Structure 1
Amino acid sequence: MGIVLGFLLCLVVMSRWAIMRWPAQLFIEFFRCTPALLQIVWFFYCIPMMVDVFIDPIVMGVLALGLNLTAFNAEAYRAGVQAVPKEHLDACVALGLKPWQRTIYVVLPQALRSAMPVLMTNAIGTLQQSALVAIVAVADLMYVGKSLATEAYRPLETYSVVALIYFALSLPIARLVHMIERRQDAAVQR
């Protein structure tokens, strides 16, 4: 959700039409400038009250975290798009590529390549923020750990295992980010 919507939101933010750009910028600033915990609680309690429909808590948690990730990824993509050399865009015009072809075949691959380390770091952050959904009683890893710690009266052991699980999930992604950054640095030096 964050990867696809983030790129689409990036394109809207970079639009030349202010009527499209301003709501997208407001969306990004809202999700980047408010705590993820508040967003989760707001989605869990306020959205169902506003639409008068019960929505599954897991869906609400995914929606809140996905939209949060979308905002952060949109900024990562924007930086990647701005890093595409102007000469490449000029070449697209010279070749007669349509705007959508230029976006899909030239801009997206280059923006994705430069934004990849940030996108993956954002993914690690979202994985860690997923523990926040335990506050609204979504039975995720942290919620189950809290329940076990309460039942067994063993918070030290339980929360240590939960921390190790999050660490084991995040470490391979962090190592992959490091490897990608090294490869990109080596490619730039060539």
Structure 2
Amino acid sequence: MKRLLFSIALAALVSPAVSGPAKSVKQPTVTQQFDPVKSFQQLVAAASATKTWSRSFQLPTTQKWVRQNAVAGDVRYDVKKTDSLVNPLIGIVSFPVVISVSPVADTEQEALESTAPPQRNSTYDVDITYQIVSDRWVMHEIKYKGTDRENPLRGTVFTMDAEKFAKDKNSTLALALKPWVADL
């Protein structure tokens, strides 16, 4: 009797289970997939639409006014694969920015309306690196360097992460880069 029960139990364990028709597992539908290249192209198109920025400010030493203009040049961009598991893609944008300073004026209005040629121009090459965070491109780092001969910072490369850049929102270069870092 024990052998019979053991045989029945063993047969039940090794024999294939009988079941009804196979049930299909419903896969979640993806309504919109993130396309990193297309998304980066849209970011570049939106940010590069603005090419010039101006601001006026009072010089603290003389209490005179000047106007600064920043003009962005042609934009180059790319999306690259990395060997990182955390950030397998990065987006890179590169462009020059020319910053000009008007002659000093007694009033802010005079500085803004001045048609005199700029006292000084400074050119900077800017490289911005982006990473993907939650299916959107987020600025990771900005590198820039002065490139013109008169610029005392010529050849010096400055690097700012997003946190440091967010604290530097009032410089002319920061104003020129504002469309590129709209999320800060």
- Give the TM-score of the pair, scaled to structure 2: 0.25
TM-score (norm 1): 0.24
Determine which structure has greater relative contact order: mean sequence separation of CA pairs < 8 Å that are 6+ residues apart, divided by chain length: 1
Larger radius of gyration: 2
Larger fraction in strand: 2
The structure in which a higher percent of residues are helix is 1
